[in-house]
Amino acid sequence: MGPGREGGFRRIEDGHGRTAVMSLEIRKVGIIGAGQMGNGIAQVCAQAGIDVMLNDLSEDRIQAGVAAIEGNLSKLVQKGSMDEADRRKALQRVQPAPSYADFASCDIVIEAATENEEVKRKIFTQLCPSLKPDAMVASNTSSISITRLASVTDRPERFIGIHFMNPVPRMQLVELIRGIATEDPTFEAAKAFIDRLGKTVTVAEDFPAFIVNRILLPMINEAIYTLYEGVGSVDAIDTAMRLGANHPMGPLQLADFIGLDTCLSVMQVLHEGLADSKYRPCPLLVKYVEAGWLGRKTRRGFYDYRGEKPMPTR
């Protein structure tokens, strides 16, 4: 048996009658979701010389995502971190993908939609018929089971969790999470892809919230309980953790940055998935989300961002 292909994964002989499956090289990336996470992933891919197809629910959202990338790249030019020619080249690598059919030539499609399992499952069910047989599929989920998400696709062996941190261009870490069916070539291709982006990989098992959010979100939830129980004000809690624990920002400020709806979703996944009362979402977090006070993106959360300077809301 000579050199051949198994889907898009190359199958070669090692000279001793044994064969090995070589991982797929990722040259074109599709991204579903042009919001803060999706456009951040698109930006770092484009800067690394990888072509990107960017999708969202409407062309207006896609254009807003492209505009955000353009603004971020322009800031890098102003700071002297990038020259104008490279900015233009990176921007040209990002193309709109109004339909999943536009992903037909992509080597991998990364879902970066809202942190809701039902939404994600629907996306993957609709997406897979548009992909070439060897294409990989990934989720940027911060908490949901990779095995469960993979089960609704036609390629669970080529499905993997690739969890970027927010904001993607600045944060160094990416969590890689294998589902029960994820095969070695998929993992190796994803790892090589992250290396090409200049990020550091940490490998997490497929347990609720993985590593970073398993530790970070309960801390944020506890800070909200501390506020809820009147132990300290918003300002007191954030100042205490910035100056007392040397955190770059306080937990309530960080919650606003992440989005309180996302914080609540992760805590619900932890609470339901691990069945431990210590992960119960704080009632005050639930109340803020019910009020539509989701943090910076809605201009109100634990801080009010509608004025010149953020002001605590409690």
Q: Which residues participate in catalysis according to the annotation?
A: 142, 163, 175, 213
What pLDDT sits at residue 227? 98
Q: State both tokens at 264.
A: 């609540």
What pLDDT sits at residue 22? 53
Domain with CATH 3.40.50.720 in the chain: 28-204
Q: How far apart are CA 120 and CA 149, in angstroms?
A: 7
Q: Please, what CATH class does the domain formed by 28-204 belong to?
A: alpha beta
Please give the C-alpha separations between residue 236 and each of 104, 281, 295, 312, in angstroms, as whole numbers: 52, 21, 18, 10
For every one of its 314 residues, what pLDDT tens digit does the chain have, with 9 covering 90 and above?
333 444 455 544 445 444 444 567 899 999 999 999 999 999 999 999 999 999 999 999 999 999 999 999 999 999 999 999 999 999 999 999 999 999 999 999 999 999 999 999 999 999 999 999 999 999 999 999 999 999 999 999 999 999 999 999 999 999 999 999 999 999 999 999 999 999 999 999 999 999 999 999 999 999 999 999 999 999 999 999 999 999 999 999 999 999 999 999 999 999 999 999 999 999 999 999 999 999 999 999 999 999 999 999 99
Closest CA to 282 of 247, 243, 231: 231
213, 142 contact by CB (below 8 A)? yes
Q: Please, what CATH class does the domain formed by 212-312 belong to?
A: mainly alpha
Domain with CATH 1.10.1040.50 in the chain: 212-312
What pLDDT sits at residue 24? 79
Q: How far apart are CA 92 and CA 95, in angstroms?
A: 7
